[in-house]
Amino acid sequence: MRISGFTVVRNADKYYFPIKQCIESMLPVVDEVIVALGNSDEGDNTEAIIRSINSDKIKIFKRVWNESLFKDAHILRDETSFALSQCTGDWCIYLQADELLHEDDHPKIMDVCKKNLDDKSVEGFLLKYFHFFGDYQHYFRSHAWYPYEIRIVRNGINVQSYHDAQSFLINGERKLKVIKTDIRIFHYGWVRPPELMNSKRREQYSLHAGKDATNSDMVHSFFEFGPLGRLKFFNGTHPAVMKEWMAKLDWKDKLDMGKKYIVKNRAKMKHERIKYRILSFIENNLLGGTQIFGWRNWKRK
């Protein structure tokens, strides 16, 4: 059995993506890592960071992003599908540049992939998300944030990336038949210095709305994370490869650890709106975490 890892990245250095740690987190459990490396901005050191990893498993494919595909983030979909097409494994693990695996889950990955290798009715696996926000101690269990997503897919059945590369379909239209697991994805996309958070959001917004699109909510240089005291507190361990990266966190004094909104005129994010707060309360306190009409781009086996 062979397992491939694959990811898509550009401007990781500029926008504070832990791409080195992302790749390192899957290296022990894969036979190769396919990196679709987009054309980064001048001065960005993403390629050098990736090449600093001492492994012959890493295969870099240099890519030029087509700006005509920036609308609705189709560029991410197409680049992810390209990276997947270069994989040679029986199973393929997809990590976005701000997502990591935990080393404690490596045996589980090997076990579930080996156990289902010959069962062709199993086309992928759902992994459990921890969406960290502001720092490395606070995370979401909210209706506004997906609790599971497909991150391991079977190769050779024409699996393709879907929409903005959040998920996958077969032949661009059929949902995958998947098994739900307790293998974790540590998502650090919202753990950045506040002065970089909005610049990253502007870049992400341009991938969805078009290259020159702007949003008035992102013009400020400083991002206000809001009251972190409303979030879940994480008592577990992070992936070991994140140790040095986490030590760089120097914006604690800019975070609000309380439960009240200090910045009254700040535009509320999706998870802060009344509708989603009510849904999240019902799901987390009455339904054991089961989402009501949540995102399900798959069919459970």
pLDDT tens-place string over residues 207-236: 655 555 555 555 556 788 888 988 999 999
Range of lowest pLDDT (83-87, 122-126, 173-177, 213-217): 213-217
Q: Sketch out the chain's domains with CATH numbers.
A: 1-301 (3.90.550)
pLDDT tens-place string over residues 251-274: 999 998 887 765 556 677 777 777
Q: What is the mean pLDDT of residues 173-201?
A: 93
Band (146; pLDDT cuts 50, 70, 90): confident
The structure's pTM equals 0.92
Confidence at residue 195, expressed as pLDDT on a 0 to 100 scale: 87
Distance CA 84, CA 4 (A): 9
Band (37; pLDDT cuts 50, 70, 90): very high
